Amino acid sequence: MTVVLLTGATRGIGRAAAIEMARRGVELGIVGRDAERVKAAAHDAMETGGGAPVHEYVADLTLMAEVRRLAGEVRGRHEHIDVLANNAGAVFSTRRETSEGFEETFALNHLAPFLLTELLRDRLVGGRVVTTSSDAHKGGLLDLDDLQSIRSFSGMRVYGTSKLCNVLFTRELARRAPELRANCFHPGVVRSGWGKNDGHVLKTGLTIVGPLLRTPERGARSLVWLALSNAAAGITGEYVFDETVRQPSAQAQDEALARGLWERSAALAGIATGTGAA
């Protein structure tokens, strides 16, 4: 039975992907920060009739201590994971630091999936890592000396940079871990909870254009395709949109930048580079 761990699974494309995977009989681990929403998403997944177990995990992935706790729980349950879907993410209109001292967008959108993947790498041999990026990465600008956006902060620019990190992480993971398949994707602009966690202007704008946006189900299609399809089994290190490999931005293809981001992320997360050791 295929085992999938899916973060950000309680709304938007994450929830849509969870429902579809459960319908296909996948054993699913649903991760979210709110216990009630996790329970509701797990209930809906089980109601599809796929018949496979659905496990509930509650974790605030802005905190690396929570990422480590989550990884420990997952390792205690599964000897092997077929797919890790790093889908959790958000955009924040103002700069905030977590209790661990990390800028919140960077912590949730990049450092958490980086650390979770590393902590589970030995369980993912022969499996797949799918990370939700965005075409917003083309508006990002990564400065390895200012990963915390201390010098300047713009909500959408920092979000775009975090999505650029997702692409660079994917490409470097594919290079360092040939024992698995690592890919990322752009879901399109989806009608979901994205952009509504804070920021009145962004929230209002998304509400106005909401009818023109993709449904979560359409946005989730590439995630499910990369996670489960035979057609995607042979690709790695790629950026996908609408189930098709696309070229990301020039900066997203910078191998030296990808290596630098990996090394700095490992140092910040407190892990040895190239290993899954804590």
Which residues are marked as active site? 159
Which pairs count as long-range contacts for 135-140, CB under 8 Å and 24+ apart, including other chains? Answer: 135/186, 135/241, 136/160, 136/163, 137/161, 137/163, 137/164, 137/166, 137/167, 137/248, 137/249, 137/252, 138/248, 138/249, 140/164, 140/165, 140/251
Q: Which helix (H) or strand (E) holds 149?
A: none
Within 8 A by CB and 6+ apart from 86, the residues are 7, 112, 113, 116, 117, 129, 130, 131, 132, 166
Which segments within 2-80 are labelled E, that is strand? Answer: 3-7, 27-32, 54-58
Mutual angle of helices 112-120 and 255-269, in 10-degree steps: 80
9 and 17 in contact (C-beta within 8 Å)?
Answer: yes
Which segments within the chain are labelled E, that is strand? Answer: 3-7, 27-32, 54-58, 83-86, 128-132, 181-186, 238-241, 244-246
CA distances from 87 to 153, 204, 250, 263 (A): 23, 24, 23, 22
The full DSSP string for 158-194 is HHHHHHHHHHHHHHHHHHH-TTSEEEEEE--SBSSST
